[in-house]
């Protein structure tokens, strides 16, 4: 018995065609705004001499996490500079910073709503499951018709791909606040907003920071993958090395990605530890 094939792919393409056809003015405005911000941040970071940037990052690492991370920052970033990968590293950092900020701004309110409303939580969690299990490359496909080839599509795909952990951990952190404390706040006459801002969010902050850490790591991995659609940065160096069969250049760019990932991870881990210790 032949079962008619469900034209799911056709429906998705029709939906994307409808959105790009009727809302292209919105996507063009978002594209111009995002491209301007990426360019401004990249120009700002590139205007600082590499040695000065290394010193500033090393001091920041030493202040937040200790001298070991500061020494690692000096050695790792100096190696990146020596390999001639400073500009691609700054481009990747700019994309990660902007994508992470956008993802966090969207994710935190959704996470709070998911924590406070069981019904909203039941709706959101399957969507997050879908977003986290979808192969990363798939997110690049719908980004292109909306924003074209380049960094803006990379930001769009990166935000969608990296947002779920921040939502999950925010909801989890608030839900893990002891019920006795919430009841005590209610007994003292706290409003819902006072209880959220002065009790639940401060206690949930270490868990929220863990979600932000995961978001940053996923953003960095997606920014590297997004080189396939024209995003600059270290991913473009890796992709270029693959196309030209240059394993040495590919490994150099890969090592730079690892150094950048370790620095971002250790800094956010140290910030999470500080919040937990308070």
Helix, strand or coil, per DSSP, at residue 244: coil
Per-residue pLDDT of the chain (278 residues; tens, 9 = 90+): 677 788 888 888 888 788 777 777 777 788 888 888 888 888 888 888 999 999 999 998 888 888 888 999 999 999 999 999 999 999 888 888 888 999 999 999 999 999 888 899 899 999 988 888 888 878 887 777 777 788 888 888 888 888 999 999 999 999 988 888 888 888 887 888 888 888 888 888 888 988 888 898 888 888 888 887 777 888 888 888 888 888 888 889 889 988 988 898 888 888 766 665 66
Please state, in angstroms and rounded to a whole number, the distance separating the CA atoms of residues 268 and 219: 14
Q: In the prediction, which pLDDT does 273 show?
A: 65
Are 103 and 156 in contact by the 8 Å Cβ rule? The answer is no
Name the DSSP class of 229.
G
Q: In the prediction, which pLDDT does 275 show?
A: 60
**Burial of 188 per CB tally in 10 Å (0-12, 13-18, 19+):** exposed
Please state, in angstroms and rounded to a whole number, the distance separating the CA atoms of residues 108 and 105: 6
Please state, in angstroms and rounded to a whole number, the distance separating the CA atoms of residues 171 and 109: 10
Q: In the prediction, which pLDDT does 231 show?
A: 78
Q: In the prediction, which pLDDT does 1 show?
A: 64
Please state, in angstroms and rounded to a whole number, the distance separating the CA atoms of residues 269 and 271: 5
CATH of domain 12-47+84-276: 1.10.3720.10
Domain ranges of the chain: 12-47+84-276
Q: What is the pTM of this model?
A: 0.85
Q: In the prediction, which pLDDT does 170 show?
A: 92
Are 201 and 169 in contact by the 8 Å Cβ rule? The answer is no
Name the DSSP class of 3.
P
Q: In the prediction, which pLDDT does 167 show?
A: 93
Q: Per the structure block, which two tokens stand in for 86?
A: 């400073």
Q: In the prediction, which pLDDT does 272 show?
A: 67
């Amino acid at each position: 018995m032949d079962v008619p094939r469900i034209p799911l792919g056709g429906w998705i393409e029709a939906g994307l065609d409808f959105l790009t056809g009727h809302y292209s003015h919105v996507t063009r405005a978002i594209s111009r705004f995002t491209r301007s911000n990426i360019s401004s941040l990249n120009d700002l970071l590139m205007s600082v001499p590499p040695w000065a940037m290394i010193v500033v990052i090393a001091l920041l690492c030493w202040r937040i996490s200790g001298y070991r991370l500061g020494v690692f920052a000096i050695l790792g970033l100096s190696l990146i500079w020596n390999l001639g990968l400073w500009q691609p590293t700054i481009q990747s950092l700019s994309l990660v910073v902007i994508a992470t900020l956008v993802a966090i701004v969207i994710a935190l309110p959704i996470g709070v709503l998911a924590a406070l409303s069981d019904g909203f939580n039941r709706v959101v969690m399957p969507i997050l499951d879908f977003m986290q299990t979808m192969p990363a490359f798939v997110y690049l496909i719908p980004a292109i018709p909306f924003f074209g080839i380049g960094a803006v599509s990379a930001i769009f795909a990166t935000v969608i791909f990296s947002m779920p952990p921040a939502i999950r951990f925010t909801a989890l952190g608030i839900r893990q606040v002891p019920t006795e404390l919430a009841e005590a706040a209610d007994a003292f006459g706290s409003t819902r907003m006072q209880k959220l801002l002065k009790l639940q969010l401060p206690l949930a902050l270490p868990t929220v920071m863990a979600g932000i850490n995961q978001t940053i790591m996923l953003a960095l991995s997606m920014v590297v993958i997004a080189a396939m659609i024209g995003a600059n940065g270290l991913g473009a160096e890796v992709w270029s090395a693959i196309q030209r069969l240059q394993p040495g250049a590919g490994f150099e760019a890969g090592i730079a990605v690892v150094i950048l990932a370790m620095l971002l991870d250790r800094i956010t881990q140290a910030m999470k530890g500080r919040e937990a210790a308070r």
